[in-house]
Structure formats: C-alpha cells, structure tokens
C-alpha cells in the first residue's frame, strides 16, 4: 500500500499537469510550508487510492506495482477454469449511512470514496481488532497494544525473513520500526499480529504476544496488566476535497458504546508525531501521520470519530471547527475510472486471492487498443503496455521505505509453468490463479534486479 504522502503528492502531480494554478491556490489555502513547486511527471491511468487512516492493520507494507497489458479482445476467462470468486459482479459492500464533511466547505464540494474500491484497497478494514491502552497519570494514552486477525498477505513479504520472536510453540517473527514493534505468526485463519506503539518496546510486545498465542479466539484475549480494553471504531469511508487535498475519514462504534477519540488518535496507523489536545476543542487530538501530515482525530458525537488529514504545514484548528456529519447519500461518489482515463463502461472483473483483492478493467483505449488494467490492494494500474501484445506478462519490483524488496508478475491468462529469474538467478515464486488470470510474486534482493519471466521454459513475448 502506498503511504499517505505518496498518494497526496500523486494527486498534486495530476492536478499540476492540468491546473497548476489551482494547486498553488490549494497550497496557499492550506498554508503549506512545502511551497508550490511541483515536478511534472507522466500521468498514469491509475484508479484513485483514497487517503484514510484505516488503511493499515500492519504498518510495514510494500509499494505495489503499476500493471497493465494490451491484448486482443477475447475474454481470458474463456481460456481457463470458470470463476470461483466475485467475477464480473461487483462485490456486495455496504455503503455508509453517514460521513463527516466540512460545513461550509473550504472550496469545491467533497467527493466520497467508492465503497468497492475501499474494499479492494483495504482502506475500510474489516479485520477483527482489539485495542489495549495504558494511560499516564493525566489520563492520556502512553502505550498501546493492538491485536489483529488478518489474512496472511504480508507474511511472505514482511515477516517471513524477520528475526524470530522466540515464542514457544509458534513461529513468531518480530519487525521493529520507529513507530511500532510488531510480532506476527501464521494462525489457522491466516495471520495474527500484535503491535505495540508509544512506550511499548520490543520486549513487552513479545511478552504480550506470548500470552495471546494461547487464545484461540480474539474475544478471549485478556487485557495485559496495566492496560484497559478500548472499543475499536469501525471504518465507514472517507471524503476528499480535491482543491485542498484534505481527506476526512469516518468511523463508528457499536450502538451503546462510546468512542474514545484519544485512543483512536494514539492508535492511528502511521502516526509519527506526539499526541496533544487540540486547543479550543473537546475530545479532539492533534498528531502527525505518514511523514509529518497534520492529523486531527475528533469525536463528532458519542459513537463517531472523524480523522482529518492535511498537507504538511496545514493548520487544522479552523478545519476541525467546521466538521459536520451528514447522510452519505448527500455526498457524490468519486468516479476514479473516468478521472484517470478508464471509461465508465469498462468491463470489470473482481476477485480475491491469498495476497489480496483486485479488480481488472477491460476496455478499448482512444487509440483502439484493447487494454487490460489491474488495480489491487497491493498496487495500482498503469498505461496499456505493451500495446497490442497477446498474453504478455507484466512484471515489476515492489518495496519501499522500511519494507523488503520483492517482485510481482501479472499474466492475463491462466498459465501453470511460469518461472522468474532475477539477474539470471532463479527466484522463489508463489503463483495464484483467479478468474482466468495468473498472479506471481516473491522476494527480491535489494537493489534493482533485472526480471525475466518464462512460460513453459520460453520467453512469452
């Protein structure tokens, strides 16, 4: 998953290519210290990835590839096994009833995230989670433990080569970053992750993880000594103001529960700054996330919390004062396909593999090339490349700051005998099939190795 800074800057680059004065105005309106200089870059056909703080259950993730292929117009599903997952029907993802917005808006009206793309990118987390908070004498959170049940998507790329946590009876690995210490192991249902933030060090995270191993169900996990159990808000979606690059996430707790805004701010994924009360506001906390983006977490009513993320340098005080909760139906859903060059009538195929969720768009470009473009929880989509070639695999490297290097390959047909070499050395490979497509991925050495793909021992293109 791309971090918040990458997503915000990508959106600014896109705007700069068409409306550079508007970008300068946006930075001025938000009092950004980063200035108005924007380096132009080629616009890629990439469906919008929404900026919300609900995106990370595991904070150490790779940066996905940009994949697309040109091919003849016949459906690849006709060449392989019948669909076994969602197919061409959009997944049934419930739309939110309410969302947080600004009233009045700072400029143009907001647009809200597409619930289906939220589902694909994991920005609305459905993984079961538990939060345990330790407080300082003044009542503010000082340490936090999260326990998450998740699919084993990140095990191979993040944890499998990490040091052992030394927990008896389970192959638990530990990854320590400046923001957290994470202990993970494969479980019957996928992967269980224990993450400690704040003043929780690696030793304490391992000790808590050791006690969690014995609990078969997440509900059976007891609060560690000195911690209290805090209800976890469920993410419902987000809205975005394109002119200011401001994003507002919305999450709620169950009927009869009361939201804890301080805990939600303290446990915010990607938090990299101290937590402090927002002056002049009740139940509102200010911090930074994902590389210094100012972030405010505000209890907008007893059951709901809004998370506001701005560009670096943004003063969120006035923004928080304008927060309001409205029916979600009053906010227009964004159409990222049209915005990024994919026609609205493109055929869409949806699926889910062990690695994550994905959608493939099939359409004809303005130049008449039949194109397949993939958008997935582990990456995005690019231009139609190479155009006009039949069943060519598209390969790319993955990785990012704090994340191990890897590679991925997409083939728009069902193939079995697929091999990958990195700088001429055979690579370990995991292959999955779904909806007539082939997905292959694995670890890569550091650096920028040359990727070569063979199918049946022969170069495919």
Same domain, 29 and 163: no
pTM reported for the whole predicted model: 0.71
Same domain, 356 and 446: yes
Tell me whether residue 77 is in a domain: no
Q: What average pLDDT does the chain have?
A: 77
pLDDT digits (tens, 9 = 90+) for 335-357: 655 555 678 788 889 998 888 88
Q: Which domain CATH number covers 277?
A: 3.40.1000
Of 169, 198, 230, the position where a domain reaches its end is 230
Give the pLDDT mean for 13-35. Answer: 34
Burial class of residue 292 (count of CB atoms within 10 Å of its CB; 0-12, 13-18, 19+): middle
- Least confident range from 85-89, 222-226, 354-358, 384-388: namely 384-388
- Residue 97: is its pLDDT beyond 90? yes
240 neighbors 113 (Cβ within 8 angstroms): yes
State the DSSP string of 419-458.
Answer: EEEETTEEPP-EEEEETTEEEEEEE--SS-PPEEEEETTB
Same domain, 414 and 345: yes
Q: Which residue has the higher pLDDT, 132 or 437?
A: 132
Cis status, amide bond into 386, omega within 30 of 0? yes
SS3 content of the chain, % helix, strand, coil (to 5): 15, 35, 45
Tell me the CA end-to-end span of the chain in Å, nearest whole number.
29
pLDDT of residue 255: 93
Same domain, 37 and 115: no
Tell me whether residue 415 is in a domain: yes
Residue 104 phi, psi dihedral angles, 5° rounding: -80, 160
Which two tokens mark 2? 């791309």
Of 302, 333, 364, the position where a domain reaches its end is 333
Same domain, 162 and 202: yes
b/e map 75-86, b = 16+ CB within 10 Å: ebbeebeebeeb
Of 230, 260, 277, the position where a domain reaches its end is 230
The parent domain of residue 36 ranges over 12-51+60-72+341-455
Same domain, 107 and 167: no
pLDDT digits (tens, 9 = 90+) for 294-340: 999 999 999 999 999 999 999 998 889 999 999 999 999 876 555 55
Tell me whether residue 5 is in a domain: no
| Candidate ranges 22-36, 356-370, 443-457; pick with highest mean pLDDT | 443-457
Same domain, 150 and 215: yes
């Amino acid at each position: 998953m791309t971090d918040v800074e990458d997503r915000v800057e990508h959106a600014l680059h896109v705007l700069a290519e068409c409306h550079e004065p508007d970008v300068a105005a946006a930075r001025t309106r938000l009092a950004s210290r980063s200035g108005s200089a924007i380096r132009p870059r080629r616009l890629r056909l990439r469906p919008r990835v929404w900026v919300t703080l609900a995106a990370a259950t595991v904070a150490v993730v790779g940066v996905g590839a940009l994949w697309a292929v040109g091919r003849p117009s016949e459906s690849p599903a006709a060449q392989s096994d019948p669909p076994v997952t969602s197919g061409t029907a959009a997944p049934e993802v419930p739309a939110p009833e309410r969302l947080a917005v600004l009233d009045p808006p700072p400029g143009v009206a907001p647009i809200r995230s597409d619930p289906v793309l939220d589902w694909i990118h994991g920005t609305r987390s459905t993984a079961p989670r538990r939060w345990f908070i330790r407080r300082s004498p003044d009542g503010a959170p000082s340490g936090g433990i999260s326990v998450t049940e998740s699919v084993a998507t990140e095990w191979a790329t993040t944890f499998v080569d990490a040091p052992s946590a030394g927990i008896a009876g389970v192959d638990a690995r530990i990854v320590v970053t400046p923001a957290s210490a994470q202990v993970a192991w494969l479980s019957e249902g996928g992967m269980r992750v224990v993450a400690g933030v704040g003043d929780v060090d690696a030793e304490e995270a391992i000790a808590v993880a050791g006690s969690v191993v014995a609990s078969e169900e997440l509900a059976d996990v007891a609060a560690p000594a000195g911690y209290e159990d805090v209800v976890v808000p469920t993410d419902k979606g987000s809205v975005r103001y394109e002119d200011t690059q401001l994003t507002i996430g919305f999450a709620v707790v169950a009927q009869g529960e009361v939201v804890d805004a301080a805990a939600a701010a303290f446990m915010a994924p990607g938090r990299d700054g101290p937590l402090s009360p927002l002056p002049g506001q009740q139940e509102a906390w200010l911090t930074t996330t994902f590389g210094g983006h100012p972030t405010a977490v505000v209890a907008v009513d007893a059951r709901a919390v809004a998370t506001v993320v701005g560009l670096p340098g943004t003063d969120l005080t006035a923004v928080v004062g304008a927060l309001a909760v409205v029916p979600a139906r009053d906010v227009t859903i964004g159409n990222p396909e049209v915005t990024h060059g994919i026609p609205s009538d493109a055929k869409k195929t949806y699926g889910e593999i062990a690695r994550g969720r994905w959608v493939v768009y099939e359409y004809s470009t303005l130049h008449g090339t039949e194109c397949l473009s993939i958008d997935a929880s582990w990456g995005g989509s690019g231009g139609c490349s190479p155009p006009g070639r039949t069943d060519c695999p598209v390969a790319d490297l993955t990785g990012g700051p704090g994340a191990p290097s890897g590679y991925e390959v997409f083939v728009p047909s069902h193939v079995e005998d697929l091999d990958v070499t990195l700088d001429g050395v055979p690579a370990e490979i995991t292959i999955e099939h779904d909806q007539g497509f082939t997905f292959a991925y694995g670890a890569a050495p550091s650096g920028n190795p040359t990727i070569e793909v063979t199918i049946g021992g022969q170069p495919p293109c």
